[in-house]
Amino acid sequence: MSLLDKFDAMTAVRAELTARGLRPFGAINEKIISPTEGTIAGKRVILAGTHNYLGLTFEPECIEAAQRCVAEQGTGTCGSRMAAGTYAEHDALESELAAFFGRRYGIVFSTGFSACMGVPATLAGPGDTILMDSDSHASIYDGVRLSGAEVVRFRHNDAANLEKRLERLGDKAKDTLVVVEGIYSMLGDMAPLGAIAELKRKYGFCLMVDEAHSMGVLGARGRGLAEAAGVEDDVDFIVGTFSKSLGSIGGYCVSNLDQTDAIRFSTRSYLFTASSTPATIASARAALRVLQARPALRETLWRNANMLYNGLRELGFRVGPDASPVVAAIFEDRETAIRYWQGLLDQGVLVNLVVPPGSPSTYSLLRASASAAHTEEQIRHILSAYANLRLRDAA
């Protein structure tokens, strides 16, 4: 095999879709009209594939903060956090995130990917063991590979299977890193965090939870699944992103452990990448304030999420096991999923197409996301578009 032969299969898929006039991967948003509407190929569509859970991308307070900051501090830092790239905004956001989560320490990364990759890559090393949920995000997979530790996957959301692997480790279990997510990004299901916290109390391992899709979504204060499950004291490290509920870009890690600052200065994805632009950090700070001040946004989000999830299930679509803002319709074959994706777009609805190996199984997904900014009329339109396709297939 030559160096580039490995890309032949993907090249063939792309060529097939191009020949059919389809662009399900990376469809170009020509104009963004609002948090929930844009134009693609000159046609106005409902954006039902973003993770803009609280709808804050057009929030006036966030926009004003970003505009003010770019005018005062420029367009970029031109430095890493270790060099000249730490501004007062970065330091303030770290303190505010730590306070929001009720933690002593916070670290801000340039992207959510670099946070979720860099933290496990740094926490564990050669001679250590990482136990990870098999459906973990690609960033976590990359991080555990970089760590050099022994990596063992346990069955998705199966606490009993996790315990079997802990038992096999014996005394090493107490020095093991266990990695799970709050809400999983493919099917929208949630980790059995209460049961996993019980195992932590029994075996003493270190627990990291990726709350990327659950921050701002779950918990009385929007702190995520750990808060909703009442097990925050059992979680050693929380990582996540600003690109979901905060409507920005960036990543974070918060913890109560005194070693957190040493971890900061040992994490390559923190040390060797340019720091976030001041405007990006300013908008994230503003969004964090809005998240805390307006809990009604979370209530609206869940109203829309339940309406979309229950509506698809009532139409006969196979969906994930839990209602959440991530609502995936599951298809057994890629061709049907592609046809439905195009059929939805033709009716003014943009969702995400996920096909193997990107999906967590052999199935393909049409993954929609609910937002607090969606109106009931828009949710009904999305459901109507799915229903029309189902009726067409039945005819």
Structure tokens at 6: 């490995």
- Specify which residues 241 forms β-bridges with: 251
Asked if residue 250 lies in contact with residue 221, where contact means CB atoms within 8 angstroms, the answer is: no
For residue 53, is it within any domain?
Answer: no
Asked whether residue 251 falls in the same domain as residue 111, the answer is yes
Task: Count up the domains in the chain and report the number.
Answer: 2
* CATH code for the domain in which residue 179 is found: 3.40.640.10
Q: Which phi and psi (to 5°) does residue 179 adopt?
A: -125, 125
Listed residues 293, 314, 339: the one ending a domain: 293
Domain boundary, last residue among 293, 309, 332: 293
For residue 3, tell me if it sits in a domain.
Answer: no
Same domain, 345 and 263: no
Same domain, 245 and 382: no
Residue 12 lies in a domain: no
6, part of any domain: no
Q: What is the pLDDT of residue 64?
A: 98
User: For residue 32, what is the DSSP state?
Assistant: E
pLDDT at 21: 75
Write down the pLDDT at residue 25: 75
pLDDT in tens, the chain (395 residues): 789 988 888 788 788 778 777 777 777 889 999 999 999 989 999 999 999 999 999 999 999 999 999 999 999 999 999 999 999 999 999 999 999 999 999 999 999 999 999 999 999 999 999 999 999 999 999 999 999 999 999 999 999 999 999 999 999 999 999 999 999 999 999 999 999 999 999 999 999 999 999 999 999 999 999 999 999 999 999 999 999 999 999 999 999 999 999 999 999 999 999 999 999 999 999 999 999 999 999 999 999 999 999 999 999 999 999 999 999 999 998 899 999 999 999 999 999 999 887 777 788 999 999 999 999 999 999 999 999 999 988 87
CA separation for the pair 137, 150 (Å, rounded): 18
Indicate whether 2 belongs to any domain: no
Q: Calculate the dihedral angle through the C-alpha atoms of 66, 71, 72, 75, rounding to the nearest 10 degrees.
A: 80
The predicted pLDDT at position 6 comes to: 85
Query: Are 111 and 241 spatial neighbours (Cβ–Cβ below 8 Å)?
Result: yes
What's 342's domain CATH number?
Answer: 3.90.1150.10
Q: Is residue 314 part of a domain?
A: yes
Show the domain range for 302.
Answer: 17-47+295-394
| Claim to verify: residue 250 and residue 129 sit in the same structural domain | yes
**Residue 317 falls within a domain, yes or no?**
yes
| Residue 354 CA: distances (Å) to CA of 30, 47, 219, 333, 349 | 22, 16, 28, 11, 16
The residue written with tokens 């692997």 in the block is 165
Q: Residue 147 has what pLDDT? A: 97
What is the model's pLDDT at position 102?
Answer: 98
